[in-house]
Amino acid sequence: MVTSGAIIELDAAIEMRDGVTLHADIYRPDKEGECPVILQRTPYDKRTAAAVNILTALENGYAVIVQDVRGRYRSGGAFDTFVNEADDGYDTIEWIAEQAWCNGKVGMVGGSYVGATQWLAASSKPPHLTAIFPRVTASDYHEGWTYQGGVFQLGFNVSWGIRLAAGNADHLGRELGLSDQRVTELASTVDDIDSAFWVLPIDQQPYMSAQTSPYFFDWLNHPADDGFWSRIRIEDRHDDIETPAYNLGGWYDIFLMGTLRNYINMRENGGSEKAARGQKLIIGPWSHSTIGQSVVGDEDFKHQATATGVDLDLLTLRWYDYWLKGEDNGIIDEPPVKIFVMGENVWRDEAEWPLERAERTRFYLHSDGRAHSPSEHGVLSVEAPDEERPDVFLYDPQAPVSTLGGPLCCGGDPLPDGPKNHAEKEERADILVYSTPELEEAVEVTGPVTVSLWASTSAADTDFTGMLLDVRPCGCAVNLADGIVRARYQDSRKRPQHIDPNLPKRFDIDLVATSNVFKKGHRIRLEISSSNFPRFARNLNTGLWADSDQIAVATNTVFHDARHDSYLELDIVPR
């Protein structure tokens, strides 16, 4: 079909090395000669999920190809998350390069799983993959995608798992021989995701089965970082990847950890000088579902945070004009890092990440054993503790701390993401609150955020959570970053360790990163608890996992004294 200066070929058949046929929609300029190609490989329906403005790309001389990945929508085979994307990406790219209208240079675009299809394709080193532009995606599909700190990312995994099956109901119906009624039921499961979070045992999900959602049960069956995950881990392949990448992320994105690690590791250990030098990073104030939008959660970051304000479409085209057309447009010589500094709400170019000029600073936890509310009893200070009473709280898995905003996926009900006011929530007795005094001058925090916590539990296992917040003069406590660690996975994600009840132990909680100016009169705050549900699966405090519904209440203790110096660690940028 030829229309408006474009040639459109729908459902083009592309055969993979094992004989499975995948289908793609091809849009290319109606002109003589060869052109570069921008490829998107998606599990979200190629007809509705284009990650690049197709008309703009055509006008600039690019062909655009959007392909359903294996087992999704119009493509054949069975969908097995991540497993086939390296080989299928390779075969698709090399098929494209063989077409008479292709100039032999292929780039890729897209975010989330579509970002994963880019990195996995790059790891297979197809000769004609020239550059990629992955958005909001991971570097490790165990740590930072399915689990974090050893804890199952329940909110994401359940909602994504259900939506994957529901969106693909017609395809599954054909492949599995499901009745029309079952297909209709499968498509409607998205209407009741919230109730699925509370299901115990977790592996008894009413809306997913090993038949329709085998990947979900695979994830549950591999809580440790074993060979199931290493076969698809991008981080392990960075030193062999030779593809330049423009990495885009958001401070409130669920995969921020992976975006940063992909940039840092490729910059330091990429498979070639071209790949290492060809790494770029841009981090906005966005969540997973609000890339290029100004309103994130309850905050409005104004026009400069929008796709128009930062001109994401032009950025993408400039990237590919350089790599796919060979235009010397200067993008490769620009500073490699661009970050949005919240609080001041401005973009800033940087020479590296993390920032070399930042000063790593410890804020020690203090209290008189009464840090159970946002009073002055829980204090953050650069002064190390002496002898102090610990803080003790009860964690009951039947009444967990409710998730309120943060780095979630994928927007809207039942889990709205981004910055929210946590002041009311902090009145709970199972949340410990530590704050600085009101700041006498503005303090910029830009970089990794970690918590080193001395703690103990009365249970066979438990979790510890951390959250960084900006407390404003109005009393609003706005979340910036959060993290979690499961006690039995503190020392090793590969081999769970026995926990000695009531014995103090150091726990490291990775809150990933942020960039925020705490203004004069604001306070820096840290929350400590043992749950953030349903963002993370509840620890039932028994040491048992997905096939158990046994619950125990834990008495958890946080220490902060001369022998047990618990602290929040931040990168402070001199101003």
- Residue 456: burial class (beta carbons within 10 Å; 0-12, 13-18, 19+): buried
Q: Which residues contact 281 (CB under 8 A, 6 or more apart)?
A: 246, 247, 248, 249, 259, 260, 263, 336, 337, 338, 353
3-state secondary structure 297-312: CCEECCHHHCHHHHCH
Spatial distance between the Cα atoms of 291 and 312, rounded to a whole number of angstroms: 10
Which residue, chain included where needed, has tokens 């699966």?
537
Sequence-separated (6 or more) residues with CB below 8 Å from residue 266: 238, 241, 245, 275, 276, 279
Which of 73-104 are b and which e, b meaning 16 or more Cβ less than 10 Å from the residue's Cβ?
bbbbbebebbbbbbbbbbbbbebbbeeebbbe
What is the rounded CA–CA span in Å between residue 277 and residue 273? 6
Give the SS3 label for residue 338: strand
Rounding to the nearest 10 degrees, give the CA dihedral for residues 284, 286, 291, 295. Answer: -120
* Whether 505 contacts 452, CB under 8 Å: no
3: β partners:
6
Q: How far, rounded to the nearest angstrom, does the alpha carbon of residue 321 sit from its chain's CA centroid? A: 28
Tell me, yes or no, if 253 is annotated catalytic. yes
Active-site hit among 142, 238, 288, 522: 288
How far apart, in Å, are the Cα atoms of 84 and each of 87, 124, 225? 6, 11, 20
* Sheet strands (E) in 118-244: 129-135, 147-148, 151-152
Q: Do the beta carbons of residue 13 and residue 23 sit within 8 Å?
A: yes
CA end-to-end span of the chain: 59
- Identified catalytic residue from 25, 88, 140, 253: 253
Of 75, 91, 112, 529, the active-site residue reads 112
Residue 529 annotated among the catalytic residues of the structure: no
Active site residue 402: no
Q: Which sequence positions are flagged as catalytic?
A: 112, 253, 288
